[in-house]
Amino acid sequence: MSTPLLSPFIGTIHPIEEAPDPVFAMKMLGDGFFVTPSSGEVVSPADGEVTYVAPTKHGIRIVCADGAKITLHIGTESGALKGEGFTVFVEQGAKVKTGDRLMTFSPELLRAHPKTTDACLVLLEGLPEGKEVRLTTGGEVAFLAPVAEIV
């Protein structure tokens, strides 16, 4: 049996192995996927509790009821922006439902900054041994579209 994963972004989906940062591409921070965004909106891909919001506003971790840890990392090297271009609507300890608005960001600012990219990553930490994330679709994705599964 597989667990469906939903997209918290609108844009074009890519396998994590194609991430522009080798730390993500080599799955050092978890398996997952990334989206090249066509919108600067981010919604919760699952019900859970926000357990971390990066001080620089570019990352949020949600722990789901089943214990799954989903980290949303907006851009690569985006911490260098020190929160510029990001607005976060949740805080640590907040309970969220699938589809709740988590943040907005400026894809244009990420693309314009010389050291950042606009890759929006969805990372699953601590998958059981032998489990992996497999994309079930390609191309353009919408908010909350089923895009991958844990197999």
151 CB neighbour count, 10 Å cutoff: 12
- The whole-angstrom separation of Cα 140 and Cα 17 is 18
pLDDT in tens, 1-47: 357 899 999 999 999 999 999 999 999 999 999 999 999 999 999 99
**Largest Cα–Cα separation, the chain:** 43
Q: Strand (E) positions, 64-151?
A: 69-76, 86-88, 95-96, 101-105, 117-125, 133-135, 139-141, 146-150
In whole angstroms, what separates CA 107 from the centre of its chain?
Answer: 14
Mean pLDDT of 51-69: 94
Work out how many domains the chain is built from and give that number.
1
- Catalytic residue, candidates 14, 58, 73, 113: 73
Q: Give the CATH number, domain containing residue 140.
A: 2.70.70.10
pLDDT in tens, 69-99: 999 999 998 888 899 999 999 999 999 999 9
- The whole-angstrom separation of Cα 113 and Cα 34 is 19
pLDDT value at position 2? 57
Residue 61, strand partner residues: 52, 71
Active site residue 14: no
CB 105 within 8 A of CB 40: yes
